[in-house]
Every structure is written in structure tokens, then in C-alpha cells.
Structure 1
């Protein structure tokens, strides 16, 4: 398998999951502005959407969208228990968290990277994010992870989105439970390995 990524982007989530699972894979960095991979391939031929992550299987098929990729990976090594079994209520709960992170956090936090965002819009977005962080803090106040005591693919995704906050003017000191969650996930050996491989640690 090959994961097409940009350092620190949402592609870091499947990168972490691949390392947590111990699956063999290659990495290929992408420059989405030029539309080229580090080996000079046309990235849009792989993903016409133009963004990472893309997981390319050994038979050439590709899968896009981080939440789909991390669930696919988790199901390749179910013994690692990074996702509950398909068809279970617990799997639906995991999917609910993945949907929450992608729709309520990823897009809103990610939008703050836009330097041309109008000040009023930025302030309103930050307020909305604050309310969502309040909710997450209540969920994570006792320690542990989104679905309970076990780390799952949803935690890898949340970790990545929360890691962006220091770059967009959001201070997690206001939410100690979220800061503790980030530190807890960052300490995992697979996470450290992924951060080093992407030049982030």
C-alpha cells in the first residue's frame, strides 16, 4: 500500500493508523498546489478532488477520504481493535465520532488557515469551535478516549485536528482535557514515529 500525504495535514490520521497497525506501506509526499507528487506523478490523476489523503492499494485501486481510509485499514487488522466490528452498535458510535470530527471540527478549524477570512467570520467560527471544544472537553474530562478506554481511529483523527489549533490562534489551555488528550495521544510510539517521518517532531 502507498499513502499519499502532506505533512501535518489530515493525511496524518491514516498515517498514524498504519503505524499503529504495523501494516507495510510506502509514503509519497504531495504538493497540492503544483498537483505533483514528490516523484513527479500527476496527483490529480490519482485523486481528481486534488487533496490528500489517498491510499493506493497494491492492485492499483485507490481510496480517498480519511474516515473511509482509517476504517478500511482498521478492518485489515481487526485484532488490533482500532475499530469495533462492522455491523455492531459500537461501530456505529465510532462512525458518529468520525462524522463529528470531519463535519464539525475539521472543516471549521481548517478554515482558520485561510488568511483572507473576514474578521467577523473568523470570530464567529472561533466561537462555534469553542462550543464544540466545550462539548469534547466534557466527553474527555475523565481521561481515556472518544469511545471509552481504548484508542481508536477516531482518536487519531481528532488528534490531528487538535494539533492544528496552535497554528490558527486557538489556545488549548482553555480546555485542559483536550490538551491532556493531545499529550496522551502524542506519547504513543506509533504517533511519534508518524510525526518523525513527516518532519513534525
Structure 2
């Protein structure tokens, strides 16, 4: 398998999942602005959507969309506990969190990474991010270690990545103590440290 990624982007989530699952994979860095990979390939030929992540399988099939990719990774290594068994309520809860993170939290950050967003647009986007993360704080406020209980899942990898975007956008995590503690806890995982190191993001 080969994961196409951009450092610090949402592709960090499946990168973490691959390492947590103990799977063998290669990495290829993508320059989204240029539309090329480190090897000089046209990224549009790999993923016509133009954004990361993309996971190329051994048979040449390419998977896109982070929330789908991480579940595929989890199912390749069921012993890892990265996703509850299919058909269980816990699996539906995992999918619920993944969909919320992808459609609400992730997308709420998008205007803050665009140079063309007006100050008024940035203020609205920040307010939207805060509102979305307020819900995550509420979920974590019952003392659970992770989103679906006491075990780390692929949803936690995704949350760790998007929560990390509060730093470059100037939002910070101070107003969400449970989420801040969650990020600190996840950051200490060896697989997370390895992924950060590989992408040049380690402190």
C-alpha cells in the first residue's frame, strides 16, 4: 500500500492509523498546490479529486476520503481495536463521530486556510469551529479517554489531527480542557509520534 499525503493535512489521520495497525506501507508526499507528487507524478492521475489522502492498494485500486480509508485500515487489522466490529452499535457510533469530524469540524476549518477569506469570513469560520468543538468537549466531559470509550480508534486519530489545526489558526485549545487533555494523551502514543516524525512535524 502507498499513502499519498501532505504534511499536517487530514492525511495524517490514515498515516497514524496505518502505524497503529502495524501494517506495511509506503509514503509519497504530495504538493497540492502544484498538483504533483514527490516522484513527479501528476496527482490528478492518482486522485481526480485533487486532495489528500489517497491510499493505493497492492492491486492498484485507489481509495479516497479519509473517513473511509481509516475504516478500511482498521478492518485490515481487527486485532488492533481501531474500529469496533461491523454491525455493532459501537461501530455506528464510530461512524457517527467520523462523519461529524469530516463534514462539520474539518470543513469548518477550511476558510481559515484560504488566503482569499475576508476578515469577516475568518471571524465567522472561527465562531463555527468553536461551536463544533464545543460539542466534542461535551462528549469528552464524561471522563472517557477516547471518543468511543476507553479504547483508541481511528476516530481519535482524525480528532487529533483536526484539533491540532487550532494552533496554526490561532484558536488554541485553552477553552476546552477535556479536548486539550485528549490531544496531549494521543500525542504521546508511539505510532502518533512516529507519524509526526515521518512528516517532519515532531517538535
Task: Give me the TM-score of the superposition, normalised by structure 2.
Answer: 0.96
* CA deviation map 1:74-133 (0-9, x unaligned): 000111111011122211111010000011100111321113212222212212221222
Task: Tell whether the 8 Å contact from 1:143 to 1:177 is kept in structure 2 after alignment.
Answer: no
Q: How far is 1:149 from its partner? A: 0.6
Residue in structure 2 matched with residue 199 of structure 1 by the alignment: 200
5+ residue gaps, structure 2: none
Task: Tell whether the 8 Å contact from 1:3 to 1:27 is kept in structure 2 after alignment.
Answer: yes
Task: Tell whether the 8 Å contact from 1:4 to 1:54 is kept in structure 2 after alignment.
Answer: yes
Residue in structure 2 matched with residue 186 of structure 1 by the alignment: 187
Task: Give me the TM-score of the superposition, normalised by structure 1.
Answer: 0.97
Task: Tell whether the 8 Å contact from 2:10 to 2:52 is kept in structure 1 after alignment.
Answer: yes
Residue in structure 2 matched with residue 166 of structure 1 by the alignment: 167
Alignment of 1:39-50 (within 5 A): 39-50=39-50
How many residues in Structure 1 have an aligned counterpart in Structure 2? 201
* CA deviation map 1:141-200 (0-9, x unaligned): 214011111110000001000111110110211111111111010000000000000000
Deviates more, 1:2-11 or 1:104-113: 104-113
Deviates more, 1:124-133 or 1:1-10: 124-133
Runs of 4+ residues deviating >6 angstroms: none
Residue in structure 2 matched with residue 156 of structure 1 by the alignment: 157
Residue in structure 2 matched with residue 135 of structure 1 by the alignment: 135
Structure 2 CA distance, aligned partners of 1:111 and 1:20?
31
* Root-mean-square deviation over aligned CA pairs: 1.0
Task: Tell whether the 8 Å contact from 1:143 to 1:181 is kept in structure 2 after alignment.
Answer: no
Residue in structure 2 matched with residue 104 of structure 1 by the alignment: 104
